Structure 1
């Protein structure tokens, strides 16, 4: 059998074969795709209370062992649920990567329509991040390739960001954006290493009864600079909720400067790739760039 090519080769049939071969006690449980899936991994529901998670490419494989090792330890100190590791799968049935069985976490992704009180939700996310930062970082995975350099300096993406600025010259205010980026690179992090999640986005925050109930996908987590975890400020929050998040998460100004750099990098990269092909996505990222630039100017 040909090994799966990225996402395309992973389907429910493969999951059934893997489970039957490696976890025969669960072989008769139904396997169904989830309604909202990620890019780094494919997730399938296994019965009522389990899920199966499979990396879509080799670059996402290091996250499997990392999550298997550290999630049970972090869970003890966090205020909301995180994925529970139930089984560690190995390559097989033509699938070349390690994979895992997790406990199913009920809830809906954090769309505004599912949240009763957005400022309160913002505070809950901030409290989760602070609890994560208080977890013992001894021996934790230092930010690097496994975290796609989240938790390291945004300087890792300097060349890519400069290319985007060149490509977008005349289409956005690249001079103002460059000022934000230069400030982020200059605001060197000198704190003690702490745990960070690395991808605090609406799709990785689950809501039940209108409130934050779980945080999922720790694939880009690690130990380092927590600035990357603040990008939710611009990608999801506005007005009072943004102000409440900033107050509750209580980070120093240098961390906010680097956070703006992380938000800017991703928005510039996305805009450069979609500006002529996806008007809606382009408009969203133009807005994000404008808000990050405005926030930087206010803080200067």
Structure 2
């Protein structure tokens, strides 16, 4: 998926685990195929999973992710993985890597739960539960999404250009021009910061889809209060989005900024992963279709 990304075969994974965590040597390994774009995922025994970065990562970065993951697991009203340990880079694998607890379940899908009011209600519980956590005087750290929308102008322009064969580039340009101007609607709050379907575990309970787990908590931290609202656009049709909107209590500007962050994220998925990760590209296209078809957003552009 990325230029010069690292490969980890089973023999190398076994060796790395035995060297850095000898108490786990000899455990059965099972490779997990996911649409993820950051790590190779290998299950270690029944209760752990190793995450081997596809691109170089430092020990300090992964230690910070582990701390954020632990904080999310402590605060989250749904199950979330907990860190087990971080390993140093080696000559055989030139990146730090990590182990965390295994959480069973199946990930959500962008076109399977569009009308699930139960899932929308659960996500509202998740988002509001994270928001009330005291950020301890910290604010957005400047990495990725969650700060100022206009900071992403250059990236959006590149994405529109590279995606012109996949979507209505003129409509996308007009929508971003309207969304990027939306003012902040409050101070930073604690956020998951990557609420895509692939980071949500779901299950059918009494005929309804329920949220059963939250993955990839390494980015947990302060951000624009609208950022976690991207889940509404990644997952739901128009009526069901309103269930999440009401559950969170999002006012108009905050709701529209949530659409702006969903737009920014989706535009980067469409073309970048068109060939290398079709499920991720398909998520981006699905989200953009929902955004471009929304009457409230269309009235802005």
TM-score, with length taken from structure 2: 0.82
1:197 aligns with 2:192: yes
Q: Distance in 1 between the 2:37 and 2:277 partners?
A: 19
Name which of 134, 137, 140 aligns with 2:135: 137
- The 3 A distance-change label for structure 1 pair 150 and 116 is closer
Name which of 119, 126, 136 aligns with 2:124: 126
Q: Distance in 2 between the 1:279 and 1:50 partners?
A: 27
Q: Distance in 2 between the 1:201 and 1:153 partners?
A: 20
Tell me what 2:174 maps to. Answer: 179
Q: Distance in 2 between the 1:103 and 1:277 partners?
A: 28
Report the alpha carbon displacement of residue 240 of structure 1 after superposing the two structures with TM. 3.7
- The 3 A distance-change label for structure 1 pair 213 and 114 is farther
Report if aligned partners of 1:20, 1:26 keep a CA contact under 8 Å in 2.
Answer: yes
Report the alpha carbon displacement of residue 26 of structure 1 after superposing the two structures with TM. 0.9
Tell me what 2:19 maps to. Answer: 21
Deviates more, 1:167-176 or 1:79-88: 167-176
Structure 2: tracts of 5 or more residues without a match: none
Q: Distance in 2 between the 1:112 and 1:84 partners?
A: 26
> How many residue pairs align between the two structures?
293
Tell me what 1:101 maps to. Answer: 99
For 1:176-219, what per-residue CA distance to the aligned partner results, in whole angstroms no more than 9, with x for missing partners?
Answer: 43332123221132522212222211111012454211111124
Q: SS of the residue aligned with 2:262?
A: helix
1:89 aligns with 2:87: yes
Q: Distance in 2 between the 1:279 and 1:89 partners?
A: 31
Tell me what 1:292 maps to. Answer: 291
Report the alpha carbon displacement of residue 268 of structure 1 after superposing the two structures with TM. 3.7
Q: Distance in 1 between the 2:112 and 2:293 partners?
A: 29
Q: Distance in 1 between the 2:120 and 2:57 partners?
A: 31
Tell me what 1:224 maps to. Answer: 223
TM-score, with length taken from structure 1: 0.82
Tell me what 2:211 maps to. Answer: 212
1:160 aligns with 2:159: no
Tell me what 1:32 maps to. Answer: 30
